[in-house]
Amino acid sequence: MKLPDYLLCFCLALPLAAGAQPTKPFRELTAVAPAVDFTSFRLEARGGEVRINNSTDDSIRVEVRMTMKAIPDEEAEQRLDRIQILDTIGEGRWSWRTDLDGMELEWLVRVLDIRYEVFLPINLPLEVVQRNGNLVVADRDAPVWIDLRFGDLSAGCLSANGNRVEVQFGEASLACLGKGELTLTAGSCWLGEARSLKLRASGAEFRARHLDQWTIEAHAGQYKADYVGLMTGRMTSSQLTVDTLDQEVDLTLTLMANSYISLSPNAQALSIDADLAPLRIRYPKDRLLDLDLEGKAHDLAELDIDDLPRPESLPDDKLRYRSQWGEARTAESPLRIQVRTRGGKVRIEK
């Protein structure tokens, strides 16, 4: 590890233990530096576990411990000697990375226990790349960028704007994401809340409690939210459940397994283009509807709508129900529902 001269006094490197050592060969390293000298922190890890904690002072502290297991001590010591923990400083960023010296990561993670404990001020931007290992992140007030593959993520409240989180082949749990982007591939995620979430997902399972604004691009998987304010996007070959949609939704759904959206008394508009996508919509029974519904007769499975207007006949045996009588009967703005369906059952119920 190479550090500027003014940081050397903060660093402690313990060589490989010998003699009265713990049961397995290990190496440890500790480095500390004033946080005021940096504008961001980056870590690129390989295997093991990374924990990002909030510091109690104005410093950055990095602690690394590597322990070899399941192989003879002599070989373990040789391999530990080959692993390097490197750092660089440039343009205000303190960057750290694990260099495995060409050793195969997929094999090494079975015999190497490597742990990073990092302590940062809560308002310092953070970037973490982790492969074949787990990541734990405390609450953060500054933007966080996470790229995690083959591992699990547990994070507190990432409250800033501009967060970016990508998880491939792993599980994620986040208390909140503020405003940001989340990419899931063949994994799962539980999210407490977000002011604005852009979700890209494939083959994933996603569950959220409260999303003020949700933009989704998803292929395959299951996606559920207890509460959504505004929702837009495209989905294919998926399942969608929204227990409470509070304002507006604009979606394109294709080859869906099923979709369920329940509109709150405050909802203003729903617009859905559904192609081979069964759709169930629940709306408040005391709301008048501004309806524009089009589909073949056998696709309109259930329409629980008072004073449903007579349908118009369209080519290809389609029917279209249109009404704007809600505006004429009350000063309150009606709930606008626009649905186009092709080959998927539609149910609209109170």
Backbone angles phi, psi at 213, to 5 degrees: -140, 130
Give the amino acid at 68.
Answer: M
pLDDT score at 243: 98
Give the amino acid at 316.
Answer: D
Mean per-residue pLDDT, 194-214 = 98
∠ Cα 156 162 164 (to 5°): 65
Mean per-residue pLDDT, 325-348 = 80
Summarised one tens digit per residue, pLDDT across range 29-79 is: 999 999 999 999 999 999 889 999 999 999 999 999 988 887 888 888 888
96-116 burial: b if 16+ Cβ within 10 Å, else e: bebebeeeeeeebbebbebbb
How high is the mean pLDDT of the chain? 90
pTM for the model stands at 0.89
64-92 burial: b if 16+ Cβ within 10 Å, else e: bbbbbeeeeeeebbebbeebebebeeeee
Beta-carbon contacts of 114 under 8 Å, excluding residues fewer than 6 positions away, are 45, 46, 47, 48, 49, 64, 65, 66, 67, 83, 98, 133
159-198 burial: b if 16+ Cβ within 10 Å, else e: bbeebbbbbbebbbebbbbbbbbbbbbebbbebebbbbbb
